[in-house]
Chain A
Amino acid sequence: MKQDSHDLLQGTLDLLVLKALSLAPMHGWGVAQRLQLLSREVLQVNQGSLYPALHRLERKGFIDSEWAASENNRRARYYRITPKGARALESETESWERFAGAVARVLQTT
């Protein structure tokens, strides 16, 4: 199951991570928590595969990162969305909505 959702959502995962980071800068664990919360536990992300996604987005320049102290004063890597990432999120969101709408229309056809 996990394997399937991982494959299916490979592209979508990037979008979700960007969305989560657009709300506030946070570390990997935070992103995982946020995704689970926002999707009301529907999206069970394989937590480990979050990190390749984060590194991929950083390489593309959509996010950047720095090490900072976390809540209980431990060092953690914080990711922040860049202006370029914000623009990408916007256009990706749009096309996702178009896509989702189209799929929905097809499925609703009786």
Chain B
Amino acid sequence: MSWLKTAGRAFFFRRKVEAELDDEMRFHLEKAQEELVARGIPPGEARLQALREFGGIEQHKEECRDERGISALEDLGRDLRFAFRSLRRNAGFAAVAVLSLALGIGAATAIFSVVHAVLLKPLPYPQAERLVRVWNSWNETPDARLSVPELLDYRARVPSVQLAGHASSEAVLALGDQRMRLRALNVTSGYFEVLGANPVLGRTFAAEEEREGHPVTILPHALWQKLFGGAATAIGASVTVDGTPCTVVGVLPAWFVAPDELSGSDPSEIFLPLGYSPADVAFRGSHFLRTVGRLRAGASVTEASAALDAVARSFGAAYPDSYPERMRFAARAVSLSGDLTRAVRAPLLLLFGAVGAVLLLVCANLAVLLLARAESRHSELAIRAALGAGSGRLVRLLVTESLLLSLLGGAGGAILAALGVNVLLSLAPSDLPRLGEVAVRLPVLGFALAVATAVGLAVGLVPALQAVRGGLRDAAGRTLVSRGRLRRVLVVSEVALALLLLLGAGLLGRSFSRLLDVDPGFDPRGVLSVSVTLPEETKRSNEEAVRFFRDLDTRVAALPGVVAVGSVQGLPLASRRGDLNIEIEGREQHPGEARDHADWQVVTPGYVRAMGMRLLRGRDLSPSDDAQAPGAVLVNEALVRRYFPGEDPIGKRFTLGAGSGPGKVTVVGIVADVRQASLDADPKPEMYLPHAQFTLWTSKATVRSMTLAVRSAGNPALLAGPIRDVIGSLEPRLVPGPFRTMGEVRSASVARPRFALVLVGLFSGAALVIAVIGVYGVTAYSVVRRTREIGIRLALGAVPSSILRLVAREGAALGACGIGLGLLLWLGASRALAGLLFGVKPMDVLTLVEAGAVLGAATVLAGFFPARRATRVDPTVAIRTE
């Protein structure tokens, strides 16, 4: 308590306490002086002797302040005030330091926010670490979905995983006069149990409901609010899904989002039972189910994986027709969170690495600036030490100053991060999982503060200790040599880091431009696309469906400004295609060899022209290729290369293998390869079948979901309204999908590399600026240090150009060393980038030379300005300094 009293007094009545300390000591000295005078010593000498006997007054006062205990707090206040004042005096230095710190910390925090939400944060399900996903695999297909009987077998024979399957489709939901087009998730029973989603109302799907013939549905929370205003009467109510009345049996909690919808910004879906038929259970070759699974207590992913694989490998013996040995059929379980983020992990970690490099650069630069500053304060610190400041106090003073800098930088960084996250979100590809959850949150802000404080301490402590040790022991400043070396090492590292970032940005940029240069095989300019799905409820026959799409083409073609119209099953750069086995006429199938196969597309006759594909030989499909005509097919160059090398494929015939149709088709034309899955994926053998000849590949339902492509003479976006009217007049119950120009489709397909490029580009720009500041700082400082030497040289007759060379050489040498070091580091770092590049190697000589040249020029320039200042040194003034 008494400590508190003394400390409190000392803190709140600082002035009074100081005055008392003065009074007390003055009283003592006066008494001592009186005493000595009384002994007959002359007053003047008595005063001196009293002072001598007392010892250093200021030191004793400082000791008294220390003894009173509060001085740490008080000193902090004083150090802070002092640090503020001294930073304000050096506004330029402070601004550069705070700004670069804010940039570094802000960028690191923003990226970390994204990494945290996407990669680090557990999935939003109870005990998410136990969730897995099961994939089949065979030959060249590493991640294959499951067929219904496979799922049932795994479920029955692998007890360590609770497994559920799901597929997705689209559905039109109607309630009263509301109609909406939604994603539908068709799930097996157990799906919600695996994910730990207990319905807030009603129940989940019962075990028998996963088979066909159970018209029930479960609504997500938001849809329930929208349709029923949150009323409990929703349970048991009927909604119409694709024309079938369905009973609502459950409502999901508000937090629930299906794992595969985590990347979607608009998770509006409904849940329907999978509804498999006895035929589905019998057919093992239809792989369309994704899975979610939950490990039972005590089971590990490895064990579950081994158990699943054992079951998968046993299929070959039981069903040799479905699983020939050469297929090498296998299965495995992987963690669900890892599976969802697999594709984005590498680019995000690359960005994290890049931003880490920027942060390192910022720290190194701050250290350089602080070191230089500590040196110029050499004499100030020596005086402070002589006046009784302990080395602890001095270190604290300097550390306070750098901590203040980093905290200001950290605060600025937090603001920049908040802004930056929004920028990131607007730039980010929409398929980045869990983007909606990205926000600057407490752990992220904590990260920024930790970084700021660590930087402040590390960067403040080194120069402070050096200054104190050197300042007290070595007034001549001999330690300056080693400190100069430390600074140079730091600047060289900065240049090296900057080179790494420049190389990364350069390569990503080159790779991106190669990607944009890729010929997609069609002409996206002036093409508008819209997905058109015939609702099941219209109960159109296959022939009627064919007629609908033919009529649609004809009616849209009649609109003003339309050049060509056609429809396709899977829009290029926006969908992947499946393959069909083909049996080429006159070729023997060797048992034990992989069968010939090709990806298949279904198109209407105008499509090739509407999309601007190039017909290389033969003829285009035409309206006369109808159900009565012999089967016709267009093939791409890749198919010709693979199956007809050195032959003329026109007129060749093959049989389509998968379905039950007769399926014999004749090649009528060759089209240029179209990039289907993405610009960077090599085109696969592909064939285009006419929609009207559906009997060739199926005996069941034909394709009812197509994407209309419309080539316009003017602005294609203007056609959206008229096209919507045409669709409405043909089928009022049809809700078309979103309209997108092919330019937008292409742009969206490269969103991910663009995201990485823009960010790494920004980072490398920042790195370049920071490294240049570092080189400039070191050279400028060395000019100040060598003013006298330069003066003498000039006085002795050195020409300014030789001085220029002398100084500029230092900057150039730093740059050269940094570039050399950076190239060495690149040997190790480049591998991390290799997987993200397209059409360019990590050791691309041109990029290496360019990045080196840009950085070299920048460092030489940074050294040039201080050098020019050096030539203007006035010898007479210079020699007198110091």
A residues contacting B by CB (< 8 A) are 2, 27-29, 32, 46-49, 51-52, 55-56, 58-61, 64, 67, 70, 74-77
- On whether A28 and B2 interact (CB within 8 A), knowing A51-B64, A52-B64, A56-B67, the answer reads no
> In this complex, which of B3, B28, B53 has the most chain A Cβ atoms within 10 angstroms of its Cβ?
B28
Kindly state the separation between the CA atoms of A58 and B7 in the bound complex, as whole angstroms: 11
- On whether A61 and B32 interact (CB within 8 A), knowing A47-B54, A48-B55, the answer reads no
Which one of A29, A52, A56, A64 lies within 8 Å of B31 (CB-CB)? A29
B212 at the interface (CB under 8 A from A): no
Cβ B60 vs Cβ A49 within 8 A: yes
For the complex formed, measure the closest distance between the CB of A74 and the CB atoms of chain B, giving whole angstroms: 7
Kindly state the separation between the CA atoms of A77 and B27 in the bound complex, as whole angstroms: 9
Which one of B2, B54, B66 lies within 8 Å of A60 (CB-CB)? B2
**Mostly helix, strand, loop or mixed at chain B's interface?**
helix
Which one of A59, A67, A74, A75 lies within 8 Å of B69 (CB-CB)? A59
Cβ A52 vs Cβ B54 within 8 A: no
In this complex, the interface size class of chain B, counting residues with CB under 8 Å from chain A, is 20 to 34
- On whether A55 and B32 interact (CB within 8 A), knowing A28-B24, A48-B54, the answer reads no
Kindly state the separation between the CA atoms of A10 and B601 in the bound complex, as whole angstroms: 95
Select from chain A the residue with minimum beta-carbon distance to B55.
A48
B325 at the interface (CB under 8 A from A): no
For the complex formed, measure the closest distance between the CB of B395 and the CB atoms of chain A, giving whole angstroms: 22
B20 at the interface (CB under 8 A from A): yes
Kindly state the separation between the CA atoms of A64 and B24 in the bound complex, as whole angstroms: 15
Kindly state the separation between the CA atoms of A2 and B68 in the bound complex, as whole angstroms: 24
Kindly state the separation between the CA atoms of A58 and B67 in the bound complex, as whole angstroms: 9
Cβ B64 vs Cβ A28 within 8 A: no
Kindly state the separation between the CA atoms of A36 and B361 in the bound complex, as whole angstroms: 62
Cβ A59 vs Cβ B6 within 8 A: yes
- On whether A51 and B25 interact (CB within 8 A), knowing A29-B31, A58-B6, the answer reads yes
- On whether A52 and B69 interact (CB within 8 A), knowing A27-B27, A60-B2, the answer reads no
A76 proximity list for chain B (CB < 8 A): 24, 27
Select from chain B the residue with minimum beta-carbon distance to A46.
B55
Cβ A29 vs Cβ B28 within 8 A: yes
Cβ B60 vs Cβ A51 within 8 A: yes
Cβ B24 vs Cβ A48 within 8 A: no
Which one of B6, B20, B60 lies within 8 Å of A52 (CB-CB)? B60
Q: Which residues of B1-23 have CB atoms within 8 Å of chain A's CB atoms? A: 1-3, 6-7, 20-21, 23
B54 proximity list for chain A (CB < 8 A): 46-48
Kindly state the separation between the CA atoms of A60 and B56 in the bound complex, as whole angstroms: 25
Kindly state the separation between the CA atoms of A57 and B54 in the bound complex, as whole angstroms: 20
For the complex formed, measure the closest distance between the CB of A11 and the CB atoms of chain B, giving whole angstroms: 14
B residues contacting A by CB (< 8 A) are 1-3, 6-7, 20-21, 23-25, 27-28, 30-32, 53-57, 59-60, 63-64, 66-69
- On whether A47 and B28 interact (CB within 8 A), knowing A52-B63, A59-B6, the answer reads yes
For the complex formed, measure the closest distance between the CB of A89 and the CB atoms of chain B, giving whole angstroms: 17
A55 proximity list for chain B (CB < 8 A): 64, 67-68
Known: A28-B27, A51-B21. 13 other contacts (CB 8 A): A47-B32, A48-B54, A48-B55, A48-B56, A48-B57, A51-B25, A51-B28, A51-B60, A55-B67, A56-B67, A70-B27, A76-B27, A77-B23
- On whether A59 and B2 interact (CB within 8 A), knowing A51-B64, A52-B64, the answer reads yes
Kindly state the separation between the CA atoms of A81 and B1 in the bound complex, as whole angstroms: 17
A52 proximity list for chain B (CB < 8 A): 60, 63-64, 66-67
Cβ B68 vs Cβ A28 within 8 A: no
For the complex formed, measure the closest distance between the CB of B58 and the CB atoms of chain A, giving whole angstroms: 10
Cβ B60 vs Cβ A29 within 8 A: no
Select from chain B the residue with minimum beta-carbon distance to A32.
B28
Kindly state the separation between the CA atoms of A61 and B54 in the bound complex, as whole angstroms: 25
Cβ B27 vs Cβ A59 within 8 A: no
Select from chain A the residue with minimum beta-carbon distance to B23.
A75
B64 proximity list for chain A (CB < 8 A): 51-52, 55
Kindly state the separation between the CA atoms of A55 and B20 in the bound complex, as whole angstroms: 12
Kindly state the separation between the CA atoms of A67 and B30 in the bound complex, as whole angstroms: 17
A28 proximity list for chain B (CB < 8 A): 24, 27-28
27 A-B pairs whose Cβ atoms sit less than 8 Å apart in the complex:
A2-B55, A27-B28, A29-B28, A29-B31, A46-B53, A46-B54, A47-B53, A48-B54, A48-B60, A49-B60, A52-B60, A52-B63, A52-B66, A55-B67, A55-B68, A58-B6, A59-B2, A59-B3, A59-B69, A60-B2, A61-B1, A61-B3, A67-B20, A74-B27, A75-B23, A75-B27, A76-B27
B57 proximity list for chain A (CB < 8 A): 48
Cβ A77 vs Cβ B20 within 8 A: yes
Kindly state the separation between the CA atoms of A70 and B23 in the bound complex, as whole angstroms: 13
For the complex formed, measure the closest distance between the CB of A101 and the CB atoms of chain B, giving whole angstroms: 31
B56 proximity list for chain A (CB < 8 A): 48
Cβ A61 vs Cβ B2 within 8 A: yes
Kindly state the separation between the CA atoms of A28 and B6 in the bound complex, as whole angstroms: 18
Select from chain A the residue with minimum beta-carbon distance to B57.
A48
4 A-B pairs with least C-beta separation? A48-B55, A61-B2, A52-B63, A48-B60
B7 proximity list for chain A (CB < 8 A): 59
Kindly state the separation between the CA atoms of A12 and B864 in the bound complex, as whole angstroms: 65
Kindly state the separation between the CA atoms of A64 and B5 in the bound complex, as whole angstroms: 11
Cβ A59 vs Cβ B67 within 8 A: yes
Kindly state the separation between the CA atoms of A48 and B31 in the bound complex, as whole angstroms: 13
Kindly state the separation between the CA atoms of A64 and B64 in the bound complex, as whole angstroms: 15
Cβ A49 vs Cβ B2 within 8 A: no
Select from chain A the residue with minimum beta-carbon distance to B50.
A47
A70 proximity list for chain B (CB < 8 A): 27
Select from chain B the residue with minimum beta-carbon distance to A56.
B67
B63 proximity list for chain A (CB < 8 A): 49, 51-52
Which one of A47, A56, A77 lies within 8 Å of B55 (CB-CB)? A47
Kindly state the separation between the CA atoms of A46 and B27 in the bound complex, as whole angstroms: 16
B67 proximity list for chain A (CB < 8 A): 52, 55-56, 59
B23 proximity list for chain A (CB < 8 A): 75, 77
For the complex formed, measure the closest distance between the CB of A23 and the CB atoms of chain B, giving whole angstroms: 19
Kindly state the separation between the CA atoms of A61 and B67 in the bound complex, as whole angstroms: 12
Cβ B24 vs Cβ A49 within 8 A: no
Select from chain B the residue with minimum beta-carbon distance to A45.
B53
Kindly state the separation between the CA atoms of A67 and B1 in the bound complex, as whole angstroms: 21
Select from chain B the residue with minimum beta-carbon distance to A27.
B27
Kindly state the separation between the CA atoms of A59 and B9 in the bound complex, as whole angstroms: 11
A29 proximity list for chain B (CB < 8 A): 27-28, 31-32
- On whether A51 and B24 interact (CB within 8 A), knowing A59-B2, A59-B3, A59-B6, the answer reads yes
Kindly state the separation between the CA atoms of A74 and B31 in the bound complex, as whole angstroms: 11
For the complex formed, measure the closest distance between the CB of A66 and the CB atoms of chain B, giving whole angstroms: 11
Kindly state the separation between the CA atoms of A46 and B6 in the bound complex, as whole angstroms: 25
Kindly state the separation between the CA atoms of A28 and B28 in the bound complex, as whole angstroms: 7
B20 proximity list for chain A (CB < 8 A): 67, 77
Select from chain A the residue with minimum beta-carbon distance to B51.
A48
Select from chain A the residue with minimum beta-carbon distance to B61.
A51
Kindly state the separation between the CA atoms of A81 and B390 in the bound complex, as whole angstroms: 31
For the complex formed, measure the closest distance between the CB of A61 and the CB atoms of chain B, giving whole angstroms: 4
For the complex formed, measure the closest distance between the CB of A8 and the CB atoms of chain B, giving whole angstroms: 16
Kindly state the separation between the CA atoms of A28 and B60 in the bound complex, as whole angstroms: 13
Kindly state the separation between the CA atoms of A24 and B66 in the bound complex, as whole angstroms: 27
B31 proximity list for chain A (CB < 8 A): 29
Kindly state the separation between the CA atoms of A33 and B355 in the bound complex, as whole angstroms: 68
For the complex formed, measure the closest distance between the CB of B549 and the CB atoms of chain A, giving whole angstroms: 93
Select from chain A the residue with minimum beta-carbon distance to B6.
A59
Kindly state the separation between the CA atoms of A16 and B53 in the bound complex, as whole angstroms: 19
Kindly state the separation between the CA atoms of A33 and B6 in the bound complex, as whole angstroms: 26
B53 proximity list for chain A (CB < 8 A): 46-47
B25 proximity list for chain A (CB < 8 A): 48, 51
For the complex formed, measure the closest distance between the CB of A71 and the CB atoms of chain B, giving whole angstroms: 10
For the complex formed, measure the closest distance between the CB of A2 and the CB atoms of chain B, giving whole angstroms: 8
Kindly state the separation between the CA atoms of A47 and B25 in the bound complex, as whole angstroms: 10
For the complex formed, measure the closest distance between the CB of B591 and the CB atoms of chain A, giving whole angstroms: 97
Cβ A77 vs Cβ B24 within 8 A: yes
A47 proximity list for chain B (CB < 8 A): 28, 32, 53-55
Kindly state the separation between the CA atoms of A27 and B27 in the bound complex, as whole angstroms: 9
A64 proximity list for chain B (CB < 8 A): 2
A46 proximity list for chain B (CB < 8 A): 53-55
A48 proximity list for chain B (CB < 8 A): 25, 54-57, 59-60
